[in-house]
């Protein structure tokens, strides 16, 4: 089921998500809905609070929208970043800030500890876009959106631009109903 993506400045995007303690069919359905929603909106990652669910759940698929979509799905339950290395500044966007892209400094490498859908712990490492996706989505779980990483001036300018983009997005979404 495709869920509604919460759009900035929705309050839920500023709240810290809660630890998942029940690993059941409801959680599996949430993950399936998150992938379906992410694919529909053309993203490569989605955190549960972006659809209004305050649980520590992230889905990622770097092949979203490509021929190999769905072949390399990553599900992170209760993820924690355990190591970061290097840094780079690259452009980022977010499904909760549609149309806005800004350069953000992130680590080049990230190692994450998480649980799978059965509650089993594992670690996963990533570089480049995958490392960026880990950091971006885990930030969401902590109530941080990517524009919070910008300098005060950059953030103010981004928000001015975003106001125009948001009106355009809202008109587009209204016409699709």
Q: Which residues are catalytic?
A: 137
| C-alpha to C-alpha distance for 83 and 108, rounded to whole angstroms | 11
CB 57 within 8 A of CB 31: yes
| C-alpha to C-alpha distance for 55 and 155, rounded to whole angstroms | 27
In sequence order, the 6+-apart residues with CB closer than 8 A to the CB of 8 are 94, 96, 97, 145, 147, 162, 166
């Amino acid at each position: 089921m495709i869920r509604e993506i919460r759009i900035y400045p929705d309050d839920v995007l500023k709240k810290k998500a809660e630890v998942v303690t029940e690993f059941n069919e409801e959680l599996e359905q949430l993950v399936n809905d998150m992938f379906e929603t992410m694919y529909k909106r053309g993203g490569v990652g989605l955190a549960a609070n972006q659809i209004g669910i305050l649980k520590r759940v992230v889905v990622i698929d770097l092949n979203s929208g490509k021929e190999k979509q769905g072949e390399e799905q990553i599900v992170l339950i209760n993820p924690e970043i355990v190591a970061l290395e290097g840094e780079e500044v690259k452009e980022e966007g977010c499904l909760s800030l549609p149309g806005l892209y800004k350069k953000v400094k992130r680590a080049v490498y990230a190692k994450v500890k998480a649980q799978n859908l059965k509650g089993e712990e594992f670690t996963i490492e990533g570089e480049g876009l995958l490392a960026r996706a880990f950091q971006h989505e885990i930030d969401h779980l902590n109530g941080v959106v990517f524009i919070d990483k910008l300098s005060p001036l950059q953030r103010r300018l981004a928000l001015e631009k975003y106001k125009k983009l948001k009106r355009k997005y809202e008109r587009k979404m209204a016409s699709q109903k």
